[in-house]
Amino acid sequence: MILPIGPIHPGLKEPVRLKLETQGEKVISAEIDFGYVHRGIERVMTGKTWQKGIYLSERVCGICSYIHTQTFAETFEKIAGERVPLRAQYLRSLTNELDRIQSHFIANSTYFKAIEHETLFMYMLHLREPIMDAIELLTGNRVNMGWNVVGGVRMDAEEKHLNSIYQIIKNLEEEYDKYVEMFEEGPLLALRSKDVGKMSKKDAIKGRAVGPIGRGSGLKHDVREEHHTYKDEFDWKVIWRKEGDNYARTMNRFDEITESIKIIKQVIENIPPGDVRKKITIPAGYADWRNEAPRGEVAYMAETNGNLIQNISIRTPSIMNIDVCGKYMLQDVATVADAVATYASVDPCVACTERVIILNEKGEKKEFDGLHTVKYLQ
């Protein structure tokens, strides 16, 4: 029997359709259909200046909007062969880690909602709210922050605001562990999470899983290891687990929050004085840049004539993570309820994933392989 779930369903935070092949209650296999919130955002960026492009990039994702503007800016800074002032690098890292914390809280809250644990669902949202306040203190906005520009950040942070953010982080640190223990040591939660939705390390590599999803299956890669600011300025470690199930993915996000707290404290304690922005002249050229978004690796590939964006391609982490969920995690799941919970454990962002389809004048689809290679599909 084929059991459709979605595209509109109370267990799904965005429109997508799960097609589950079942035998009784057991899920044998699954397909995941997209296309319900498609936006051609890359096509809209083409022909625009970077000032308009960076504004649009922040609208790719509503939950982790910040990292898109940083990646966009760093792509164009690479074209110019420039790095932003060190204080700006610190402020970008601070905002990035605050955004990672709030995103992980909402991801785990969604998972707890899927396994019908209303108490932890509400606790996660309770912990997230002060972090959103900290983001607003720093940037002036809670979601679409408008914080990054090519050459640095829009404005400096006042000392009193940094002190307030530090206190928010200390308060979180003091009460955080008890909520993690509720999940980590709760026998009922373990029954709903351990050995459910398993994906092996081999399958994670084959499916190119990224972020906490790949690291929950034994992959030890985090793009922040390659970023000059994180590599040169901060003491932190990559979080990973080997179980590969819903429990591992949820705990991986919890443990990454602890590392983000550690990084934020280092930023505020050691932030150097100086400028937060410098003027950069962008020449004609091409560059690509990757960053670690809350859900994993996000990549921007852009080509400009020095004034306007000629081509741009964005690869978000959810496109790989949703794919491995359908191919590997949802195979032989014991119940339909566990299948919905497994999908939620991947922290899918459908809006990130659905952006562009390329057609020729006859309406034929094109296969888009990089910026310069386009071939028609028959």
> What's the DSSP call for residue 156?
P
- The model's confidence at residue 378, banded by pLDDT at 50, 70 and 90, is very low
Q: How far apart, in whole angstroms, are the C-alpha atoms of residue 152 and residue 273?
A: 14
Q: How far apart, in whole angstroms, are the C-alpha atoms of residue 309 and residue 306?
A: 8
Rounded to the nearest integer, the mean pLDDT of the chain is 89
β-pair partners for 296: 293
Give pTM, 2 decimals: 0.91
User: Would you put residue 238 in left (φ > 0), alpha (ψ -120 to 50) or beta?
Assistant: beta
pLDDT at 51: 92
Structure confidence by residue, pLDDT tens digits, 211-255:
999 999 999 999 999 999 999 999 999 999 999 999 999 999 999
Structure confidence by residue, pLDDT tens digits, 183-205:
988 888 877 899 999 999 999 99
Sketch out the chain's domains with CATH numbers: 39-324 (1.10.645.10)
CB within 8 A of 173, min separation 6: which ones? 261
- The model's confidence at residue 9, banded by pLDDT at 50, 70 and 90, is confident
Q: How far apart, in whole angstroms, are the C-alpha atoms of residue 195 and residue 228?
A: 37
Q: CA–CA distance from 121 to each of 10, 104, 109, 110, 335 (Å)?
A: 15, 12, 4, 7, 21
Q: CB of 146 within 8 A of CB of 103?
A: no
One-letter amino acid for residue 280 of the chain: I
**83, burial (CB in 10 Å: exposed 0-12, middle 13-18, buried 19+):** middle
